[in-house]
A and B are shown apart, each in its own frame.
Chain A
Amino acid sequence: MIELAESIPAWIAVPVTLLLIAGSLITLIGTLCLVRLPHFYQRIHGPAISITFGTTCFVLASMLYFSGLGLRPVLHELLISAFVLLTAPVSAMLLMRAAVYRDLRNTHKQAQHDSAKSSQPPSA
């Protein structure tokens, strides 16, 4: 399944290996946060790890590998990392605001419901 080039010099292989392992472990930890933690407000902190650190590690690994193989600098992976680093905060902020807004609306509805119930005469 994996088709690597025949001869990869050690100065590429070792850093790429380290970056791949670090990035995949960090990504896994970030998504474990989604499963383990009990509240939404705690879970939202998990993907931030995998997005910032994991993406940077994988992008660096890919850049290093292709630059070493092709013997010319391959820089266009930087676009992915720049794009992800710029957009992930925006989506996290919007999701957080949506969650807070929905929770506030739910508690408001609940309070209205309760007060309506308690103000009803017991005979009704």
Chain B
Amino acid sequence: MSLLLTVALYFSQFCLLLAMLCCGIRLIRGPAAQDRVLALDTLWMVAMLFILVLGISFGSVLYFEIALLIALIGFVSTLALAKFLLRGEVIE
């Protein structure tokens, strides 16, 4: 049973790496600024999922706090960037 879970963990890490690569491609190529912000937001989310998977594979509950912090920071930074695109300044 442990083997099955190991294979699944490796598979999901590989898939999440590919997903981060897709976000990276859009982040570099994206023609408009909003494409880049969207790609960055998705990259944060996928990184958060990756850390959750790492937490399962190392068997440590500590990774949960890192994932929660990453989700928090990602949300705030996306909001700031979107506000900047909308108005040209973050705090009016």
Contact = CB atoms under 8 A, between A and B. Distances in A.
B52 A58 contact: yes
Contacts of A17: 4-5, 7-8
Interface residues of A, number: 60
A27 B58 contact: no
- Residue of A5, A24, A50, A58 with most chain B CB atoms under a 10 A cut-off: A24
Contacts, number: 176
Main secondary structure of the interface of A (DSSP, over half): helix
A34 B42 contact: yes
Interface in A13-31: 13-14, 16-17, 20-21, 23-25, 27-28, 30-31
Given A31-B22, A43-B38, A13 B4 contact: yes
A2 B45 contact: no
A43 B11 contact: no
